[in-house]
């Protein structure tokens, strides 16, 4: 029944978040303008997607989205990668909110605060095949 699950992250401005994800291999696939900036975007890397929508765009879509558009709670993304050290190098200069660590569940991971205020954790599992 379910084919894919994709996050839709809220941002004041999308462009800085596009730059963040481009550093780890995502590309901007779809963008919808909103005045002088992007109001909605889809970033892709292979079969993976991340969507962004501005607070104003959410407000314009439906009153039902007002709590999400007005909220300040960040989303937490967990992304499995083949080389977490390479990701850390690519994102040098962005705020690290959890230093590189080895976990009890077999991952080496690091977390960043991306420009829209969401937490993105990148994890490499040494016992899983890479794609």
Residue 105 belongs to a domain: yes
Residue 130 lies in a domain: no
Lowest mean pLDDT among 54-63, 68-77, 82-91: 68-77
Q: Is residue 2 part of a domain?
A: no
Sign, Cα dihedral of 90, 40, 6, 73: positive
How high is the mean pLDDT of the chain?
A: 92
Tell me what the mean pLDDT of segment 102-120 comes to: 94
β 48-54/76-80 pair status = unpaired
- Whether residue 51 lies inside any domain: the answer is yes
The CATH number of the domain holding residue 80 is 3.10.180.10
Is 60 within the bounds of a domain? yes
Residue 23 lies in domain: 7-125
Confidence of residue 65 (pLDDT cuts 50, 70, 90): confident
On whether residue 109 sits in a domain, the answer given is: yes
Residue 1 lies in a domain: no
Q: Which residue from 108, 89, 90 is spatially nearest to 98, judged by alpha carbons?
A: 108
Domains in the chain: how many in total? 1
Q: Confidence band (pLDDT; 50, 70, 90) for 88?
A: very high
Residue 67 included in any domain:
yes
3-state secondary structure of 110: strand
């Amino acid at each position: 029944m379910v084919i894919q699950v994709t996050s839709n992250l809220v941002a004041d401005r999308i462009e800085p978040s596009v730059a963040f994800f481009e550093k780890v291999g995502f590309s901007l696939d779809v963008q919808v303008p909103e005045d002088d900036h992007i109001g909605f975007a889809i970033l892709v890397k292979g079969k993976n997607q991340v969507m962004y929508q501005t607070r104003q765009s959410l407000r314009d879509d439906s009153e039902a989205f007002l709590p999400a558009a007005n909220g300040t709670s960040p989303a937490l993304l967990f992304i499995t990668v083949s080389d977490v050290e390479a990701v850390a190098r690519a994102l040098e200069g962005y705020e690290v909110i959890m230093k590189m660590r080895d976990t009890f569940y077999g991952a080496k991971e690091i977390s960043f605060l991306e420009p829209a205020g969401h937490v993105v954790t990148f994890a490499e599992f040494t016992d899983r095949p890479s794609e």
